[in-house]
Structure 1
């Protein structure tokens, strides 16, 4: 069946997300480097993932303090309070892609793992998000990619058929999750690459 709708992840697809951008210059470089290391030695990404799954910051902070100590707990609280600073820009080319999809009659939607306590900051900073027809937010629904239930909820809420949709995400496991419920998946690298992959699925953008 022809593709009719495109569903976007937010962080790493529509928006650039950089923990370092929030913390650099505010805290010592060695601490920032450790927090932002890929193996997450300070647990920041793990704690944020819990928020994305629907937990409240107030319920997570005692664990942060017990596991990481007062200094890192204070930095984590600062990070969440200044979360907009971790979102420096719209990803290059993505505003034009959303606009081109809409101009050619395709539906555009959002499906993001994001805390219910900070999602408003993204909407306030980036008007592009308000151009999507609707968005499912994991922290609001207490569901979480890559589990099937959040993709199925999005399809039901948006009134879409899985095989007529494409989901774009920067994480392999989330692409596997959408494919498991019958949605076409594109793993994001760049706007140009997404355009090429959409064209291969028959999406017309000119």
Structure 2
């Protein structure tokens, strides 16, 4: 899939790296973003509501989902194919739930409700200032294309994206961050910043030497970047 980790070459005009500032220790040149919860608002229920009873949708999308949708989706994010997972869903929960899960995956774009407010302008400002801007996501190789199909501006703004399902590596494992840093051409992890909405993924990035912040909203992210000397 051409939109995955193979598209990680940086800009060719020599403007990728920002000039050093007085914050010499930081010397930030590249910013890396998670997708769901950071760039894209993902809502499980949005792909199911109106097609199935509300009470069932509420159970499926609850943190303690008895049908294991999130667990099965995690397996896809880790690189397993839907065709290999569906027999397990049928065995564990029956044909009806398996059919709903297959339908959910087929219409995954419905769960991607919008770009998180303020992040598009943040990416634009970073690129205009000469920083490298990248994506690093735990996402299935079978459904990741929906992100760029639905929000093509993200494909244009990001210099490249590494996807767990394509690599069969995933956050918060240190090797996945190191893989991404290599693909992005970032020799010094301390020159990069990572944003994620999951604490363990933030800690994983820190463990390999990246600056990392728990994403709250684009305004706070902008302030955190500025605190490191990023000129936006």
- TM-score bracket relative to the smaller structure: over 0.9
Query: Once structures 1 and 2 are overlaid, which stretch shifts more, 119-128 or 180-189?
Result: 119-128
Tell me the TM-score normalised to structure 2 length: 0.87
The secondary structure found in structure 1 opposite 2:130 is coil
For the residues of structure 1 that align with 2:208 and 2:68, how far apart are their CA atoms? 31
The secondary structure found in structure 2 opposite 1:88 is strand
For the residues of structure 2 that align with 1:128 and 1:193, how far apart are their CA atoms? 22
Is 2:98 aligned against 1:73? Answer: yes
Is 2:128 aligned against 1:103? Answer: yes
Instruction: Pick from 142, 150, 170 the counterpart of residue 117 of structure 1.
Output: 142
The secondary structure found in structure 1 opposite 2:166 is helix
Where in structure 1 are there 5+ consecutive unaligned residues?
none
Deviations 1:88-144 (A, max 9, x none): 110000000000001111110010001000111111111132121111000000001
1:141 aligned partner: 167
2:61 aligned partner: 36
Where in structure 2 are there 5+ consecutive unaligned residues?
1-24
Tell me the TM-score normalised to structure 1 length: 0.98
- Tell me the CA shift for residue 69 of structure 1: 1.3
2:17 aligned partner: none
Is 2:185 aligned against 1:159? Answer: yes
2:72 aligned partner: 47
The secondary structure found in structure 1 opposite 2:134 is strand
Q: Which runs of 4+ in 1 moved over 6 A?
A: none
Is 2:83 aligned against 1:58? Answer: yes
The number of equivalent residue pairs is: 205
Larger Rg: 2
Query: Once structures 1 and 2 are overlaid, which stretch shifts more, 132-141 or 192-201?
Result: 192-201
For the residues of structure 2 that align with 1:139 and 1:179, how far apart are their CA atoms? 22
The secondary structure found in structure 2 opposite 1:32 is helix
Deviations 1:61-81 (A, max 9, x none): 011111111111111000000
For the residues of structure 1 that align with 2:162 and 2:204, how far apart are their CA atoms? 15
Structure (1 or 2) with the greater helix fraction = 1
1:201 aligned partner: 228
Deviations 1:19-54 (A, max 9, x none): 001101110011000001112321111100000000
- Mapped contact 2:120–2:154 kept (Cα < 8 A): no
Is 2:45 aligned against 1:20? Answer: yes
For the aligned residue pairs, the C-alpha RMSD in angstroms reads: 0.8
For the residues of structure 2 that align with 1:176 and 1:190, how far apart are their CA atoms? 18
For the residues of structure 2 that align with 1:189 and 1:43, how far apart are their CA atoms? 27
